[in-house]
Chains A and B, each alone.
Chain A
Amino acid sequence: MTGSSLSVRKISKHFASFKAVDQVSFDLQPGERVALLGHNGAGKTTLFKMVLGFLNRDGGEISVLNAAPGSNEARQGTSYLPESVAFPGALTGKEVLKFYARLKGQKPADALPLLERVGLADAAGRRVSTYSKGMRQRLGLAQALIGRPKLVLLDEPTTGLDPISRQNVYELIGEIAEQGATVLLSSHALTELEARTDRILIMSKGKLVADDQLNQLREQAGLPIRMKIWTRPDAVEQVADQLGTTRMNGRSVELDCTIDDKIRALSAISALGNLVEDVDVHAPSLDDVYRHFSNTAQREA
């Protein structure tokens, strides 16, 4: 087929009462960092399980590293970190990592530097039951990096991590991608994904509702820039009148404008002189973009 790491064509899966995944298609290229967003139950984990060959699909085609999902070829080049894993508490971090290295046909000694890479070198000899949630998650991540996989699937890898550990996770993801691997991760934590992923897929109720780079998605969503103008106490109505908006709120006036109109709106505000005390400018965040696509899809459904 193609040189893509993961190719999904019109796949569907329904369980007894609902459609978990509905006609989803996308292609992931080597070296791409892709985020898969969606509310709880949007079909992200079901999609992962179909890609791994754990669930049969009702229709469509999946090609993992140009092999069938779940085949030995596909599994040899793929690694996976499930959403919540409880490693055997009686074993040490080092033993867990060696176990998975052996299962993947790698030399256990070669996998050990990964513990240092995820910041667990000091805890390597301790039992997993003494680990914090963040440490367990990092151990899972180390497991997913054994043997330089070509496709890395991470189901909510940053859930439960502190900000510094999250940073560390995204640095690691960046490194893996630079070595040519494709990283597909699902997440709820939207704002932290900005500038850390090349592409964003949004799923809603089993459907893929968006697939593009973040700034492209921003443009497609056409969300307004929101301004909040703080005025002198007696000048609220006057300012609202001059800016042509009716939304006011005690001491402040709200104004929406498009990206093209932003400078013109700002100069209109500064022309008001000392009637204005302060201005807040809110560009639409990833949260807003996500909500836009998710809501649009739900309204259509």
Chain B
Amino acid sequence: MFSRILTIAGQEIRIGIRNRWILLATMILAVFSLALALLGSAPAGTLGVDRLTITVASLASLSVYLVPLIALLLAFDAICGEVERGTLLMTFSCPISRPEFLVGKALGHTLVLSFALVIGYGLTAGLLIAMGAGSLTGLVDFARLIATSILLGVCFLAIGYVLSALTRQSGTAAAAAIAAWLVLVVLYDLALLGALVANPSGVFASSVFPYAVLLNPADAFRLFNLAALGASELVGGMAGVSETLPFDPRFALLSLIAFVAAALTASAMLIRRITP
């Protein structure tokens, strides 16, 4: 069983290296995080807070946009693309179970994503430390950011598999993936903010809004990271929310894990129904 899962995962990683996907994702993350770290350093000097920590706060907001996008682009083609190319017929005529196939894909894509995040963000952390701007707490913050970014990525990989199993053509799956990104990452936040602004002290703000944040993996990720930084006074916005929450921000982490489990289970059930 493990050898078959590793075979599928290995193939994904090899393809990621060959078509330069890994390189591209790593470069995007490195370039954006370096830009944020270096350009964003001007105001930080006066605050007397660890520059690594400040950078982590801005990178958390960057991750919310970039990581889901990269994960969806990796995953949308995973099932319907193979149906279209006919390779799934051949793969499924081999003695491999469909959940094994899916877990192999997820493992391969997670490793690709992890590599890009560790190297891309790691470069930035390394540079800041080399400039003498880092401390041990800052490094821990950085490690937490990378780990939770990977978890956020897996959430969106699983969403990508669900969409890929529901559509018959990779073009449709790509459109669905972009729509999912737009809704979960951009529109969801806008809608919540709009509702908050319309009625800042109503029932919505006190008892619906916090849970609505938990339900969306992108918001849960941001909430957890900013709360864990204790940096609300630095970055404002969403982070200020964490002090008025009716629950421990660590629930946000649990919510991410629960989301991964649910979405992967859903895609495993959907892939059983597929006729390759």
- Which of chain B's residues have a CB closer than 8 A to the CB of A72? 95
A88-B15, A102-B4 known; A75 and B95 CB under 8 Å?
A: yes
A90 to B18, CA, bound (A): 6
Which residues 74-90 in B have Cβ within 8 Å of A in the complex?
85-87, 89-90
Residue A134 is within 8 A (CB to CB) of chain B in the complex: no
A100 to B19, CA, bound (A): 20
Which residues 72-120 in A have Cβ within 8 Å of B in the complex?
72, 75-76, 78-88, 90-91, 95, 99-100, 102-105
- Which of B7, B87, B93 has the most chain A CB within a 10 Å cutoff? B93
- Give the shortest distance, in Å, between B75 (CB) and chain A (any CB): 16
Q: Are A82 and B89 in contact, with the CB atoms below 8 A? A: yes
Q: Are A80 and B90 in contact, with the CB atoms below 8 A? A: yes
Q: Are A143 and B15 in contact, with the CB atoms below 8 A? A: no
Choose among B3, B19, B275 the residue that contacts A49 (Cβ–Cβ < 8 A): B275
A75-B94, A91-B14 known; A80 and B4 CB under 8 Å?
A: no
Choose among B3, B86, B94, B276 the residue that contacts A100 (Cβ–Cβ < 8 A): B94
- Which of chain A's residues have a CB closer than 8 A to the CB of B95? 72, 75-76, 103-105
A-B interface contact total, Cβ < 8 Å: 68
- Which of chain A's residues have a CB closer than 8 A to the CB of B14? 90-91, 95
A85-B86, A86-B85 known; A99 and B11 CB under 8 Å?
A: yes
Residue A26 is within 8 A (CB to CB) of chain B in the complex: no
- Give the shortest distance, in Å, between A63 (CB) and chain B (any CB): 17
Q: Are A86 and B87 in contact, with the CB atoms below 8 A? A: yes
A103-B91, A104-B95 known; A85 and B7 CB under 8 Å?
A: no
Residue B44 is within 8 A (CB to CB) of chain A in the complex: no
Residue A184 is within 8 A (CB to CB) of chain B in the complex: no
Residue B92 is within 8 A (CB to CB) of chain A in the complex: yes
A88 to B82, CA, bound (A): 9
Residue A52 is within 8 A (CB to CB) of chain B in the complex: yes
Residue B96 is within 8 A (CB to CB) of chain A in the complex: yes
Q: Are A90 and B19 in contact, with the CB atoms below 8 A? A: yes
A100 to B92, CA, bound (A): 11
- Give the shortest distance, in Å, between A20 (CB) and chain B (any CB): 12
A80 to B276, CA, bound (A): 13
Q: Are A143 and B90 in contact, with the CB atoms below 8 A? A: yes
26 pairs from A and B in contact (CB 8 Å cutoff): A52-B89, A55-B275, A72-B95, A80-B93, A81-B90, A82-B86, A82-B89, A82-B90, A84-B86, A85-B85, A85-B86, A85-B87, A86-B87, A87-B87, A88-B15, A88-B87, A90-B15, A95-B14, A99-B11, A100-B90, A102-B3, A103-B8, A103-B91, A103-B95, A103-B96, A127-B18
A-B CB proximity, top 7 nearest: A90-B18, A86-B85, A80-B93, A103-B94, A102-B7, A85-B86, A82-B89
